[in-house]
Chain A
């Protein structure tokens, strides 16, 4: 009996002293995409929503919403992400965060806007965490035929600054959608920044000064303040689409 007690005690002692296995579980690697909207002629001033800025024409302008979709993000045949949604008001600078190895993405291609097949799918059928699910898309989805709003820039502008009226005299609303206004993007030689041991970041800039003041394609908010990609709005729709693409650049 005494022998048994000694044996059990020794066993307990040995087990209690057993060194724990080191945690050998590898950490997942993440890729993060961010977008910093800016508004200044040198492209260095970060924009704040609902804050008054001035255009080169002297108009007071404030942005109230900056939203857009990128889809089919990949490098050649290596896919990164089906869709990413930027909503400056709701999620700040974050465009997407996804598991992945940045080494596979020295370049990144895709669409500004929504791939045609996705654009006309049942918006309720996407996974619950997809930016394209109708619960997440909300006002960015027009309908099955027209599809999603690819680019949504909204704000207010005061084009008559000395009229004594404090209110901004009209809104501007650029809603770009439909398949023919989807555009490609191609970022090459990406400079991935290290955010942490297992997270790399690709920072983009949305230069809204250049968007409005593109030398070859300026937008005058006094007269060019509304397009919903409708018939009769093609000229401004084209201009917004072109300028947006040229304003979305590597930071």
Chain B
């Protein structure tokens, strides 16, 4: 009996001396979603946290994610260009150009498909790719993890974001995804127009903006929505200014004969279809289309007005395609452009929460 008592006391002593684990519980992050937006659905396995978002911001601007430590995500998604690339094609660390224009990062938390061909269906999965793409950042995740591990600040930031020690590609992608989900644009002049026309209350700031909306901008908005006008709203509507679909919008195939969505689905009915992008901040995201072929908004408007190329997979909503387009006159083009400029959200691109923290 005495023997058992000694054993019990010894075990109790050992456990009492065991070093306590220091646990860290990350702080839940509350997204600032505009009142006229739908909810953003957050993946259950990547909840938003203050620490995760902050880590993601550091990583978004971190050049160690590239093979020669010269490029970060922000190199092709620049804040001043509404997180897009002003170049037609982005150039990777080895001087190789891609074949598509970098997409603007705006309201990505509401997207279900990523890249122009929609080959990824989660933000986290999308983020993994550019790091290892030989024509982009051309690095291995193993090396990235190794480089980040050498920095005690990153070791601490990962620990605080995920409540456990260790750095890996999944955690890095999750953190960047968290940051990108905070990049919400909903404070443009268009937002005030949208809320006003739908009878939603305007706060004092929005009331002030409302006073600056002129008749030409309203006329441009009407034209934008008109079936017999510019007829843009079939593919660009709602507060997010896009619909979820892949569309052949009547462009001539480019020199690469880029098949777009069909390269993912292998379905010829998807030939030349590309993801419909948001028109938010459109004035800041030139050049335009999946291959950046148009350098100005005027060229884009002219395309839909008179430059439509008919093909077997053209979107049925390009209703005046057989006539070459919607045939806008000069005044209509002017008004339409005036409206497109109302989609610019300066607060978004200047938001200090989205800037380089390094």
Contacts and interface: CB of A to CB of B under 8 A. Distances in A.
A143 B316 contact: no
A65 B317 CA distance: 11
A134 B239 contact: yes
B317 A173 contact: yes
A133 interface: yes
A45 interface: no
B41 A141 contact: no
Contacts of A173: 316-317, 319
Contact of B316 (A122, A123, A133, A171): A171
B38 A226 contact: no
Nearest to A172: B316
Nearest to B200: A122
A166 B268 CA distance: 15
Nearest to B35: A124
> Which range contains the number of B residues in contact with the other chain?
35 or more
Contact of B227 (A65, A122, A228): A228
Interface stretch (B13-21, B73-81, B162-170, B307-315): B307-315
B237 A122 contact: no
Interface residues of A, number: 32
A133 B38 CA distance: 7
Contact of B237 (A124, A139, A155, A230): A139
A142 B237 contact: yes
B245 A139 contact: yes
Contact of B311 (A65, A139, A144, A167): A167
Interface string A157-173: 00000000011111111
A167 B227 CA distance: 25
B337 to A, nearest CB: 21
Given A122-B198, A124-B239, A144-B198, A139 B110 contact: no
Given A135-B110, A142-B233, A226 B238 contact: no
Contacts of B353: none
Nearest to B40: A135
A156 to B, nearest CB: 7
Given A64-B316, A143-B237, A171-B319, A135 B310 contact: no
A171 B239 contact: no
Contacts of B110: 135
A128 B38 contact: yes
Most buried by A among B39, B238, B312: B238
Interface in A75-134: 122-124, 128, 133-134
A138 B245 contact: yes
A128 B243 contact: no
A124 B243 contact: no
Interface string A211-251: 00000000000000010101000000000000000000000
Interface of B: 1, 36-39, 41, 110, 197-200, 225, 227-228, 233-235, 237-240, 243-245, 267, 269, 310-312, 314, 316-319, 321-322
16 contacts: A64-B316, A122-B200, A123-B38, A124-B37, A134-B38, A138-B244, A139-B245, A141-B238, A143-B197, A143-B233, A155-B316, A168-B312, A171-B316, A171-B317, A171-B318, A171-B319
Given A64-B269, A135-B38, A167-B311, 14 more contacts: A50-B267, A124-B37, A124-B239, A134-B238, A134-B240, A138-B243, A139-B243, A144-B197, A145-B197, A155-B316, A156-B312, A166-B312, A170-B322, A228-B227
The 10 closest A-B pairs by CB, nearest first: A171-B316, A139-B243, A144-B198, A124-B38, A154-B316, A50-B269, A138-B243, A135-B38, A228-B227, A138-B244
